[in-house]
Amino acid sequence: MAEQVHPGRVERPPLGDLGRRLMTRRLELGLTRRETAVRAGVAPGYLQYLEENPLAAPGTGALLRLAEVLHTTLTHLTGGDTETPPGSGRAAHAPEFAELSPAQCMTLLGTHGVGRLGVPTAGGPVIVPVNYSVVEGAIVYRTAPGTTPALAAGHRVAFETDRIDDTFSEGWSVLVQGRAHTVTEPDEIHRLTASAHSTPWAGGRRDLWMRVEPDVVTGRRIRA
């Protein structure tokens, strides 16, 4: 039976690891559930079941077809690559390497995600991951006093984020350089806290807002 689509209906969030990966990947590609199902040769209702049922155990054939439609791998859909760094696949036969404009870089940075912050310390430069947002052209993140990300205050730092597609040997990276400072203005702290997309993945109390004002933004893209 065909899946009925009701105007204004919001899809329920996926409950299991497979469901999360299926929904996240198709939304990254801008595909609806119906479009994905039709291209993979499965019923929309069955794809809904896979996304919303944490106990779903689909056959390898269906997963392979979904992986092909979603431009990913069976290993990624089933979580087999969670302990390996991205980029382990082979390089493309004839890759194209191109520099990105500052505007393209800021578009790729988007509004929020996870990036790497390069901080100068007494023992030398240290790179740590941070959950970040882009607010009015600046990189902002939350941390706690005394942590490595908090040491960025008053220093010129580097911030990098990227995306790698192992399946197609494609990817991009964006590098931001600028001075970091602690956000102390109460109104700005309130505004940043109210607009935060999520809490830091590291957990715990992290109420210290940091802001990196970019003065150099560069990026590169590799296409197959």
Look at residue 77 in the predicted model and tell me its pLDDT.
Answer: 86
Does residue 5 surpass a pLDDT of 50?
Answer: no
Q: Which of 26-30, 137-141, 202-206 has the highest mean pLDDT?
A: 137-141
Would you kindly state where each structural domain of the chain is located, as residue ranges? Answer: 17-77, 96-223
Better pLDDT: 181 or 6: 181
> Using an 8 Å Cβ cutoff, are 177 and 142 in contact?
no
Q: What is the mean pLDDT of residues 59-70?
A: 91
For range 216-220, the mean pLDDT: 96
Q: What is the mean pLDDT of residues 194-198?
A: 82
Q: What is the pLDDT of residues 149-165, one digit of tens each?
A: 999 999 999 999 998 87
What's the rounded Cα separation, in Å, for the pair 41 and 62?
8
Considering the domain delimited by 17-77, tell me its CATH architecture: Orthogonal Bundle (1.10)
Share of the chain above pLDDT 90, in %: 57
Asked if residue 204 has pLDDT above 90, the reply is: no
Percent of the chain with pLDDT over 70: 86
pTM attached to this predicted model: 0.69
- Identify the pLDDT of residue 91: 66
Tens digits of per-residue pLDDT, 17-64?
888 889 988 998 899 999 999 999 999 999 999 999 888 888 889 999
Q: Give which of 126, 127, 149 is closest to 139, Cα–Cα.
A: 149
**pLDDT of 187 strictly over 60:** yes
pLDDT tens-digit map of 111-122: 789 999 999 998
Q: How confident is the model at residue 75 (pLDDT cuts 50, 70, 90)?
A: confident
Band of pLDDT at residue 167, cut at 50, 70 and 90: low
| Vertex 75: Cα angle to 34 and 110 (nearest 5) | 65
Q: Residue 138, SS3?
A: strand
CA–CA distance, 130 with 140 (Å, rounded to integer): 10
- CATH 2.30.110.10, applies to 96-223: yes
Mean pLDDT of 135-141: 93
Predicted local confidence at residue 15, as pLDDT:
46
Q: How far apart are CA 103 and CA 97, in angstroms?
A: 18
Q: Which pLDDT belongs to residue 155? A: 96
